[in-house]
Structure 1
Amino acid sequence: MSDDVQHRTEDQSEMIEKLKTWFSGKIVRKDLTKRIKEGANVPVYVLEYLLGMYCSSMDEEEIEAGVVNVKQILAENYVRPDEAQKIISKLRERGSYTVIDKVSVKLNYKNDVYESEFSNLGIKGVPIAETYVSDYERLLCGGIWCIVQLEYFYDEADKNRCPFIIRKLTPIQMPSLDIEEVKAARANFTDDEWIDLVLRSTGMEPSQFSKRVKWLHLARLIPLIENNYNLCELGPRGTGKSHIYKEISPNSILVSGGQTTVANLFYNMSNKTVGLVGLWDCVAFDEVAGIKFKDQDGVQIMKDYMASGSFARGKEEKNAYASMTFVGNINQSVDVVLKTSHLFDPFPDAMANDSAFLDRMHCYIPGWEIPKYRPEYFTNDYGFITDYFAEIMRELRKISYGDAFEKFFKLGNNLNQRDVIAVRRTVSGLTKLIYPNGQFTKENVEEILRFALEMRRRVKEQLKKIGGMEFYDVNFSYIDQETFNEEFVPVPEQGGGKLIPEGMGKPGHIYTVSHGKSGMIGVYKLEMQMTSGTGKFEKTGLGSDREAREAVDTAYRYLKANGKNISGSISTTTKDYLMHIQDMNGIGMTKYLTLPAVVAICSVALNKPALSSSVVLGDLSIGGTIMKVEELANTLQVCLDSGAKKVLIPITSAVDLGTVPSELIGCFNIIFYQSAEDAVFKALGVE
C-alpha cells in the first residue's frame, strides 16, 4: 500500500470516529444511497430517511440487513406509476396498505372538504383530515413525499363516496433538531474536514475537486441556508446545477422551465393562498431560457420580491423568505459569450435586457468552472443523512452572519447599497455553512469576503455591458481595518486576454472604439499592408456593409488629396494598399472608420507603429471636419475594459469630459487632436 493511500485511509478512519462520536445515528454511507437509488426513482431525501431509520450503524452486518429492509420497504410500498393498479388491487384485497408516494391536496370548495391526490398511485379526490393540511401546509403547494397508511372501504349504500381512507400520514422529514448540538460538534472538526463533510452530505466526493470547485459547490447551498437570497448559475450541461434543489432538500422546489403564473409563485387572489415563495425555503427555476409569465406584471412582481422579500397583491403586502435560484445552460464557450454579448444572455429577453432585474442577483456562480460530472465525483463515504442536513440549513436561516467581516475589514467605495447587501448575504451564507458556531479567524473571513465580492462583481460586470455608465464602478475592493491596505478582487474570466495588447504593435495596426451595427460599443482593429503597385486600394472584413466601405474609401480619397501635408513619402500612385478590418466584439461593423483608416494608412506608409496600448477615437467627415465621439463616457469605459492606456480624442469632445467620472479619466493618458494631420502625428508619436 502506498504512503498516500495509507495516509488517506488513516484520515478516513479518524474522520469516521469523529462522526460516530458527534453525529451518531445522523450519518449514512452514501454508496448505499447510490445502490438503491438506481433501482427506485425517489428523491435522495426520501431514500435516506429510510436509510437513516435502518442503516445508520457502523456495523457492516447491520448495514447489510438494513439495506435489505429498505429495499423490501421500497419494493412493497414505493409506488411505481406502472404498478399503481396492482397496489390498488392489493389495497382492496387486504383492506389496508402502506404506500410511499407524493401527496398533494386541494380544497373542494363545492363540498367544503380537502381532497388529496397521490402522484404515482394516480388516485384523486381522497378525503384528508384538516389537521394534516394545517400541520403540513406544503401539501397544498406542489405536494410532499409521505408514508401513508391507506384503508379501503366500498359503501354499497353511497356509491359516490370515495372508497380510499387515509388512516395515517407521515411526511418524510426529520422530526426535530437541536442546532446547539451541531454548533458544539463543529468545533471538533477542522475547516477542511467540515467542508468535505458538507459536500459528502450532498453526495459529492470532495477529494476529486480543487479547492475552488469545492467552494463553488458550497455556494450552491447558500439559497437553502440564507433567506431571500438570489442566485444565478449558468454553465455547460451535466454539471449538476439543478441536482441540489431537486434531490437534496425537502425544503426546496424546482420549477422546470416553461410558463408560470403570479398566482402559482406569489399569491392566488381567488382562493387567498400564498404561492411557492411562502411555502418553500428555495424556489429554483430550471432552464432559465424557458421562463415565461402568463401575467404582464410577472417580472415586475418578481423584481419587487427579489429586492425586498415582499410583494403586493390586491390590497395587502405579503412577506416571504424563499430564496430565488436561476439555473440554465450556456452553450458557447465563455470567451465567445463575453466578446459577443453578456453572461446573462440565456435569460428570456424580458429579464436579460432588464438591468434592474439582473441587479437584484446577489451571486453569479461561474458554472463553466465546474467539471462535467463523472462517476468518481460521487462519494461512497459517510455524510449527514440528507434530511438531517436540510434541517440544519433550515434552522440556520434564523440567524445572520452578514457582519462577520466588519471587525476586520470594510468595503471599498465602488460598492453601492445593492452590492453591499449582496456581499453581506453571501458572506452570511458561507459563514453559516463553514462556521455554524460563529468561530472563525480573520484569514477565514477574508477568504469568504473575497469569494463574495467576486460572485457579485460578475453580476456588475455584465450589468456594465448591458446598462453602460450607470454601472461603471466595478472595481470591488476591501480595506483592512488595521493596515488600511486596500485589496482589489478581480473576476477570472475578465482578466488577461485583453483585446488591446500591451507594447508596441506593428506599423499599420490601429485600434478604434465606436458603435457597431447592433448599437453596442465595441473594439475594431484595422490592419494595413503595403506593396509596390499602381495605387490600388483593397479592403476585406467589411462584408456587404456599404456605410463602412464608404467610410474607408473617404479616408483613402482624403489622403490622395492631403497626404503631402503629412509627409512627402506617402504615395498613392506607386504603392498598393490592403486594409483588413476586424470586429473584435462581434457586434456588427461600424461606420466610424474614416479617421482611424487615415491613421492606419499613414502608419504603414511611414513604417511607424502607433503608440503602445493606444486607441484612436473620433471621425472625419467627407468635407474634412473632425466629428466628436458619441457617448464619450461609455466609449471610454469600453476602452478601459479592452486594455487601452492612451486615448486620442478630438478637441471637439473636450466639452463632454464633464459627463465622465473622474476615476475613469484618471485611468488614461488622454491626447487631444485638432485635425486629421494632427491625429496622425500624435498617434504615431511624431513630434
Structure 2
Amino acid sequence: MISYNSNLVQDVFGNLSIDKTRLPSSGLTAVGVPSFVAEWLLDKIVPGSGTLTSTELEKVNTFVKKAFPRKDDRNEIIFDLTQGEVRKLIALMQVRVRLEQGSKEIPDPIARIPVLNLSDCAIPLGLIERNKMLLRQGVWGKISLAMQPDGKVEVIDFDPFQCSKVDLQAYADCRARFNTEEWRDLLFCSMGFNPQHPSYNQESKTWVLARLLPLVESNYHIMELAPKGTGKSFVFENINSKVALISGGKVTSAQLFINGKTKEVGLLGRHDVLVLDEVQSLTFDNPEEVIGPLKNYLASGRYNRSGFADISSDCSLVMLANIELDEHLQPRNEDNIIANLPNFFAETAFLDRFTGIIPGWKIPKFQREMTSYQFGLKMDFFGESLLSLRHDNRFISYAQQHTKFDKNATIRDQNAIFKSASGFLKILYPHLDLTLMDYQRDCLEPAQKLRQEIRNSLYYLDDEFRKFGREVYVEAK
C-alpha cells in the first residue's frame, strides 16, 4: 500500500482541500450540520489543521449557539423580530410558489426555513433570481430575517454557502497530477473514510466509491444491500443539498411525485439524487399508486399523477437496505438476495429497471478508527464536482466504443453496464487519460459485477430470464 500524500493534495487543490480531522473534533455534525456546510464553516471560523484546540472549539461552539437555530428557538426569534431586530442565522432555506386554483393573480413566492418550522416568509424576487437553487432542493446559507409592518416574517438578505459552478477542465487537470491509486485514496478520504486502514482493500474501496455513481450519472438507479454499520447512508447525508434522504417508514406518492393539494412537485422532481434508506421496512399506503408511476419513472425518467402533465426529471434513485449474512459473511439467500425486501422488489419488471446492486457485505463494518484523518477535498467542492459531471457525454461515448458484450446480454443489461462504466470513468478518470486495461479493471469489471447481482435474482425469480443464461459476459475492446 502506498502512503497517503497529504502534501500533494494541498499543493494541487489548495484551499479546496481540508484536514479531515477538523470536522469530527468540532462536534458540528452532532448538532445536525451536514459536512458540506460544516467544513466550509470551519475553514472560515478556525482555519488550520489538526484536531481543534480547546480555544478553537470554544470559538466554534460560541458561533454555533449564536448562528444555528434549534426548533425551540422559534418563539424567541419571532419575539426579537417583533421588537424590530434583524436576526441572522445559518440554516437550509427553500422557496415555493403556491398556485391557487381559479385565482386570477400570480402569488408571490414564499420562503421556508424547516428548522424553525417557518413556512410562509416573504422574500424579494432579486434574492431568488440570484439563487435559483432555492426553488429546487433549497440552499444552506446565512439568512437575515426581519418583520414587515403587517406581522409577516421576511427574508431581507441571503448569503449562500454552497460551492458554485465547478471548472471541470481544472478538475481534470488536477486529476492528472495523481496516479490512479493516489486519486482513488483521495476520493475515499474525501468521503470521510481512512484509505490507509488495513480493513479496506481495493475491492472494498471500489464498492464504497460505487456509492458516488448516482451523483455522477443522471437517472442512475441502484440498490445497496449490506449488514448494519457499513456507513451506507453517511455520504448521502453529508455531501450536498441536491441529495435527499428518507429513512424507512411510510412513503406517499405525494412525497415522491406531486402533491395533489398544493400542486408541489415531489422529491423525485426536485433533487438530483433521492435515497430511500432502510427499505426493508418501507411501506406504502396505496402501493399501486406508488409502484406503477415509479416503474415508469425508472424506465423513462418521467412520471405523472392523474390530472397533471408529465414531469421529467434526471433524479437518480438509491435504495439502501439491511440484509442478514451467514457465518461466512455472505448473504443468507445468495441466489435471491432481495428475498427479505418488500414484495414489490420481487416483481421482475421493477427489479430489471435497476442498474445494479452494490454488494455492501464486501464493505467492512465501520469503526471509529476508519474515519479519515488526512487532507481530502472539502465536501461542498467534492459534491459539486461530482454532480457537475452528470451531463458530460464523453464518458458514455467512451464506454460504448470500448465495450463488447456476448449475445446473452439484454438491452437493459447493456445500458446498465454502459452507465456504470461511464460513472466509474467520471469518478476515477475525469481527465479520460487511461489504457484499455485500466478501463477493463477499474470501470468495466465492477460495472459488470453490479449488474450481475440483478441478473442473479432475475434468473432465480423468473423462467423468462433463464433462457439468457445466468452470467453477463463483457470485455473491453
Structure 1 position 436 matched with structure 2 position 425? no
Mapped to 2, the partners of 1:80 and 1:363 lie a distance apart of 39
1:607 alignment counterpart: none
Pick the aligned partner of 1:195 from 176, 184, 190: 184
Distance 1:403-1:210 versus aligned 2 partners, 3 A rule:
same
* 1:267 counterpart SS class: coil
Mapped to 1, the partners of 2:450 and 2:411 lie a distance apart of 16
Mapped to 1, the partners of 2:29 and 2:293 lie a distance apart of 40
Displacement of 1:272 in angstroms is 4.7
Structure 1 spans left out of the alignment, 5+ residues: 482-687
Mapped to 1, the partners of 2:52 and 2:25 lie a distance apart of 16
Distance 1:367-1:149 versus aligned 2 partners, 3 A rule:
same
- Which entry has the higher C-alpha Rg, 1 or 2? 1
Structure 1 position 169 matched with structure 2 position 161? no
Displacement of 1:197 in angstroms is 0.8
2:289 alignment counterpart: 297
Mapped to 1, the partners of 2:134 and 2:271 lie a distance apart of 11
Task: Confirm or deny: 8 A CA contact 2:69 2:89 kept in the other structure.
Answer: yes
Mapped to 2, the partners of 1:434 and 1:480 lie a distance apart of 17
Mapped to 1, the partners of 2:368 and 2:285 lie a distance apart of 40
Displacement of 1:146 in angstroms is 2.8
Deviation per residue, 1:586-623 (Å, 9 max, x gap): xxxxxxxxxxxxxxxxxxxxxxxxxxxxxxxxxxxxxx
Deviation per residue, 1:426-456 (Å, 9 max, x gap): 0011110000011111111011211111110
Q: Structure 2 length normalisation: TM-score?
A: 0.88
* 2:15 counterpart SS class: coil
Task: Confirm or deny: 8 A CA contact 2:95 2:111 kept in the other structure.
Answer: yes
Displacement of 1:149 in angstroms is 1.2
Pick the aligned partner of 2:340 from 342, 346, 349: 346
Pick the aligned partner of 2:322 from 322, 329, 340: 329
Structure 1 position 218 matched with structure 2 position 214? no
Displacement of 1:274 in angstroms is 3.2
* 1:337 counterpart SS class: coil
Mapped to 2, the partners of 1:64 and 1:84 lie a distance apart of 30
Pick the aligned partner of 2:38 from 31, 47, 53: 47
Amino acid at match of 2:357: Y
Displacement of 1:103 in angstroms is 2.7
Deviation per residue, 1:2-21 (Å, 9 max, x gap): xx9xxx7xx44xx3332232
Matches within 5 A, 1:109-508: 112-133=107-128, 136=131, 139=134, 143-152=138-147, 155=149, 158=150, 161-162=151-152, 164-208=153-197, 209-268=200-259, 272-295=263-286, 296-313=288-305, 314=307, 316-333=309-326, 337-338=332-333, 342-349=336-343, 351-400=344-393, 401-405=395-399, 408-447=402-441, 448-472=443-467, 473-479=469-475, 481=477
Mapped to 2, the partners of 1:284 and 1:405 lie a distance apart of 26
Displacement of 1:324 in angstroms is 0.6
Amino acid at match of 2:35: V
Mapped to 1, the partners of 2:170 and 2:124 lie a distance apart of 35
Distance 1:277-1:124 versus aligned 2 partners, 3 A rule:
closer
Distance 1:108-1:463 versus aligned 2 partners, 3 A rule:
closer
2:6 alignment counterpart: 16
Query: RMSD across aligned C-alpha pairs, in angstroms?
Result: 2.9
Structure 1 position 75 matched with structure 2 position 65? yes
Mapped to 2, the partners of 1:38 and 1:267 lie a distance apart of 31
Deviation per residue, 1:138-180 (Å, 9 max, x gap): 5456644332012246x4xx5xx22x33111233311332111
* 2:31 counterpart SS class: coil
Mapped to 2, the partners of 1:104 and 1:446 lie a distance apart of 43
Displacement of 1:65 in angstroms is 7.9
Task: Confirm or deny: 8 A CA contact 1:251 1:390 kept in the other structure.
Answer: no
Task: Confirm or deny: 8 A CA contact 1:141 1:276 kept in the other structure.
Answer: no
Task: Confirm or deny: 8 A CA contact 1:44 1:386 kept in the other structure.
Answer: yes
Mapped to 2, the partners of 1:38 and 1:247 lie a distance apart of 9
Amino acid at match of 1:402: I
* 1:183 counterpart SS class: helix
Task: Confirm or deny: 8 A CA contact 1:78 1:101 kept in the other structure.
Answer: yes
Amino acid at match of 2:249: G
Of the structure 1 ranges 133-142 and 329-338, higher mean CA displacement relative to structure 2 is found in 133-142
Displacement of 1:51 in angstroms is 2.5
Task: Confirm or deny: 8 A CA contact 2:399 2:422 kept in the other structure.
Answer: no
Mapped to 2, the partners of 1:142 and 1:397 lie a distance apart of 17
Mapped to 2, the partners of 1:443 and 1:125 lie a distance apart of 56
Displacement of 1:29 in angstroms is 1.1
* 1:457 counterpart SS class: helix
Distance 1:343-1:51 versus aligned 2 partners, 3 A rule:
same
Displacement of 1:94 in angstroms is 7.3
* 2:21 counterpart SS class: helix
Task: Confirm or deny: 8 A CA contact 2:29 2:38 kept in the other structure.
Answer: no
Structure 2 spans left out of the alignment, 5+ residues: none
Of the structure 1 ranges 278-287 and 122-131, higher mean CA displacement relative to structure 2 is found in 122-131
* 2:22 counterpart SS class: helix
1:98 alignment counterpart: 88
Distance 1:479-1:183 versus aligned 2 partners, 3 A rule:
closer
1:551 alignment counterpart: none
Displacement of 1:412 in angstroms is 1.6
Distance 1:46-1:107 versus aligned 2 partners, 3 A rule:
same
Displacement of 1:87 in angstroms is 4.5
Displacement of 1:409 in angstroms is 4.4
Displacement of 1:106 in angstroms is 4.3
Amino acid at match of 1:239: T
Displacement of 1:477 in angstroms is 1.6
Mapped to 1, the partners of 2:187 and 2:475 lie a distance apart of 30
Higher relative contact order (CA 8 A, sep 6+): 2
Displacement of 1:338 in angstroms is 1.9
Displacement of 1:68 in angstroms is 5.8
Amino acid at match of 1:197: L
Task: Confirm or deny: 8 A CA contact 1:411 1:479 kept in the other structure.
Answer: yes
Mapped to 1, the partners of 2:331 and 2:29 lie a distance apart of 38
Task: Confirm or deny: 8 A CA contact 1:224 1:281 kept in the other structure.
Answer: yes
Distance 1:122-1:470 versus aligned 2 partners, 3 A rule:
closer
Displacement of 1:287 in angstroms is 1.2
Mapped to 1, the partners of 2:141 and 2:254 lie a distance apart of 26
Identity %: 26
Task: Confirm or deny: 8 A CA contact 2:123 2:156 kept in the other structure.
Answer: no
Deviation per residue, 1:345-383 (Å, 9 max, x gap): 23321x223100000111101111111110011111111
Distance 1:440-1:75 versus aligned 2 partners, 3 A rule:
same
Mapped to 2, the partners of 1:108 and 1:317 lie a distance apart of 19
Amino acid at match of 2:377: F
Distance 1:461-1:57 versus aligned 2 partners, 3 A rule:
same
Mapped to 1, the partners of 2:346 and 2:446 lie a distance apart of 26
Mapped to 2, the partners of 1:31 and 1:87 lie a distance apart of 34
Of the structure 1 ranges 438-447 and 166-175, higher mean CA displacement relative to structure 2 is found in 166-175
Q: Which has the higher strand share?
A: 1
Task: Confirm or deny: 8 A CA contact 1:19 1:27 kept in the other structure.
Answer: yes
Amino acid at match of 1:262: S
* 2:116 counterpart SS class: coil
Task: Confirm or deny: 8 A CA contact 1:282 1:325 kept in the other structure.
Answer: yes
Mapped to 2, the partners of 1:205 and 1:294 lie a distance apart of 41
